[in-house]
Amino acid sequence: MQFSPIGFFRGKAFRKYDAPRQAVYAHEVSGVVELLPGQNYEQALRDLDGFERIWIVFVFDRNGSHWRTTTRPPIEAPGHRRVGTFASRSPYRPNPIGLSCVRLVGIKGRRLFIEESDLLDGTPVLDIKPYLPAADSFPHARAGWVEEQQANPYAVECSPRFSESAGQLLALGGPDLVGTVRTQLAYHPFDGSRKRVAPIPEEPGAGILSIRMFRIRFQVDEASHTVCVRSLASGYSADELLEPDDPYNDKELHRRLQLPTRS
């Protein structure tokens, strides 16, 4: 069996850690599915604009060729530290196929404008199907170990200082750090097995989240169950920013933002 993409997704999430756990949690994430030319896909899209939601079948193309028989859920349930891959939504599957139910905003030619997406920019799309509430929704179906999850996400708040820096970075073509910190810090903010995070020993509840060469300082308040994202800094030293090598192709961003540098 061989499958070819019918198009690709275009959005602002570029790396795996930018993506939310499920599309339904991505209330602020939008993008465009661009179908390939020369296949008469415009005709195939006829009548789809009357549906509020669609299924997108896609490829997990950033996972390499390996898969895992078990996975650790982002939110553990008692007695289920690891679960079988077929009992999970893990992207590391024998066939790296993903399925997302997204909100369809509009169609223009071969372009589908969608919201509530958990796809990464450049993701190959294999198929599109309409979501049918009468056939696809079973709200009272049993959900196995997921029903035992103790989901209690932190409220992630961004300070004006961080929001300003992150907004300037995004305007310069950099990553969407506001979306990323909300994805990374809403659950288990100090879980170093899932993210590059380190506590600040001299400041209880404080930590630094590393996204590539960006360093994001945050503070956890357990009483209010909130995470305040305070500031953005560079992981480069001032001397390193002057060096010509640029493995992440981002030194110019750090220089233009004039971020505090590593001492």
Q: Say what the pLDDT of residue 74 is.
A: 73
**Backbone phi, psi, residue 42, to 5°:** -60, -40
CA atoms of 244 and 232, how far apart (whole Å): 23
pLDDT tens sequence across 135-181: 998 888 888 877 777 677 899 999 999 999 999 998 888 888 888 89
Report the pLDDT value the prediction gives residue 150, as an integer from 0 to 100: 64
* Predicted local confidence at residue 153, as pLDDT: 84
> Rounded to whole angstroms, how far apart are CA atoms 47 and 19?
30
Please, which residues have CB within 8 angstroms of residue 153's CB and are 6 or more apart in sequence?
186, 187
Q: 113: buried, middle or exposed (CB in 10 Å: 19+, 13-18, 0-12)?
A: middle
pTM here is: 0.68
**Segments in 25-130 forming alpha helices (H):** 41-44
Q: Give the bridge partners for 130, in sequence order.
A: 54
- Give Cβ neighbours of residue 157 (< 8 Å, ≥ 6 apart): 226, 227, 228, 229
- What local confidence, expressed as pLDDT, does residue 25 receive? 46
Rounded Cα gap, residues 263 and 232, in angstroms: 15
Confirm if 247 and 211 have CB atoms less than 8 A apart: no
Residue 244: pLDDT band by 50, 70, 90 thresholds? very high
Which H helix or E strand runs over 171? helix 160-171
Nearest to 29 by CA among 125, 102, 89: 102
pLDDT (average), residues 190-201: 88
What is the model's pLDDT at position 24?
A: 46
